[in-house]
Every structure is written in structure tokens, then in C-alpha cells.
């Protein structure tokens, strides 16, 4: 349980940073810069952060279910 909390905290910090950087890059590319590729890079970084977050939550949830089933079979 403690290990799952550490993984979830690390994933949330990493993904929060990635989503923030991606959003700022998207806004800069869309409104300020004439370089249109920054918009796509911002969208890509944001979607990457969301994908990593979903995979991290899936990993923690899977670990919890496996741990619960192990305790159930041993009892």
C-alpha cells in the first residue's frame, strides 16, 4: 500500500509538470509564435502526460487487485 502511494505521487507530480509545460507550449505556439509546430508539440506533450497518468493509475489499481487476491487466497 505504501509503495502504491509512492508510485501514484511520483506519477502525479511528473504528469502535472508535463501537462503544464505542454499547455504553456500550446498557448505560446497558438497565440504568440508564428512557428506553428509549437502548437503540435504542446498538444503532444500534454497528451503524453495524460497517457502516462492513466497508465500509472492502471498500474497502481492492478497492483492493488493482485495484492487483495493474494491476501484472500492465503487466508
Can you give the pTM of this predicted structure? Answer: 0.85
Could you tell me which of 3, 43, 1, 37 has the C-alpha nearest to residue 21?
A: 43
22-63 pLDDT, tens digit per residue, is: 999 999 999 998 888 999 999 999 999 999 999 999 999 998
Query: What pLDDT digit, counting tens, does each position of 21-32 carry?
Result: 999 999 999 999
Confidence of residue 70 (pLDDT cuts 50, 70, 90): confident
Q: CA 52 to CA 5: how far, in whole Å?
A: 16
pLDDT at 2: 74
For residues 53 and 22, what is the distance between their CA atoms, to the nearest angstrom?
A: 14
Res 1: pLDDT: 66
Rg (CA), the chain: 18
Name, in order, each residue with C-beta under 8 angstroms of 36's C-beta and a sequence gap of 6 or more: 29
Amino acid at each position: 500500500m505504501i509503495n502504491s502511494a509512492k508510485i501514484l505521487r511520483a506519477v502525479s507530480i511528473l504528469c502535472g509538470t508535463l501537462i503544464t509545460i505542454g499547455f504553456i507550449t500550446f498557448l505560446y505556439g497558438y497565440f504568440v509564435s508564428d512557428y506553428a509546430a509549437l502548437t503540435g508539440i504542446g498538444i503532444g506533450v500534454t497528451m503524453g502526460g495524460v497517457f502516462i497518468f492513466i497508465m500509472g493509475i492502471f498500474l497502481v489499481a492492478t497492483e492493488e487487485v493482485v495484492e487483495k487476491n493474494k491476501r484472500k487466497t492465503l487466508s
